[in-house]
């Protein structure tokens, strides 16, 4: 059984700043609240393969996986997927950036399927992804708007 999530946030900042900050994967531990470390494994053109390590869960578990993402600045899209899928059969995420007034709407569409022996139901992980995405988008919005001088840092 597969599932999808679709979330977006309006960021009051120039498109180039939003694009640059969110596509600099090396800075993600400073941009996202959930990532402790990132290791870039390979880069070729607009494609980057990297290992993400999460901050420890409340129970002390640390999760890590390898993902790959390809950005296309001209179309304002990024297509990413997990190489090491862990409890998922697959995990894909598409990022879209669109100009809205003086701001940028950043949209994440995630498509995934759990493995039969995954330690969660598809409903539970969909709920968790939706909730966490809103937290991460709010943190990213705040940091980018601060960098743009739009809010008190």
DSSP-derived pairing of the beta strands 47-54 and 35-44: antiparallel
- 81-131, pLDDT tens digit by residue? 999 999 999 999 999 999 999 999 999 999 999 999 998 999 999 999 999
User: What's the chain's average pLDDT?
Assistant: 95
Tokens 């990132």 belong to which residue? 38
**In 10 A of CB 114, how many CB atoms?**
23
Q: Is the pTM value of this prediction over 0.85?
A: yes
- Measured over all CA atoms, what is the biggest interatomic distance in the chain, rounded to whole angstroms? 47
pLDDT at 152: 52
Q: Which domains does the chain have, with CATH numbers?
A: 2-147 (3.30.530.20)
To the nearest 5 percent, what fractions of the chain are helix, strand and coil?
Answer: 25, 45, 30
Angle (nearest 5°) at CA 64 between 66 and 94? 50
């Amino acid at each position: 059984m597969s599932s999808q999530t679709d979330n977006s946030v309006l960021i009051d900042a120039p498109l180039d700043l939003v694009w640059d900050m969110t596509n600099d994967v090396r800075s993600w531990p400073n941009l996202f609240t959930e990532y402790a470390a990132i290791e870039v494994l390979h880069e070729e053109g607009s494609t980057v393969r990297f290992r993400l390590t999460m901050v420890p869960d409340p129970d002390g578990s640390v999760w890590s996986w390898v993902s790959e993402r390809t950005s296309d600045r001209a179309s304002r899209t990024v297509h990413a997927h997990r190489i090491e899928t862990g409890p998922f059969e697959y995990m894909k995420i598409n990022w879209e950036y669109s100009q809205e007034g003086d701001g940028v709407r950043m949209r994440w569409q995630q498509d995934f399927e759990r493995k039969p022996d995954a330690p969660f139901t598809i409903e539970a992980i969909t709920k968790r992804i939706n909730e966490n995405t809103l937290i991460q988008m709010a943190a990213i919005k705040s940091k980018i708007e601060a960098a743009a001088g739009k809010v008190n840092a």
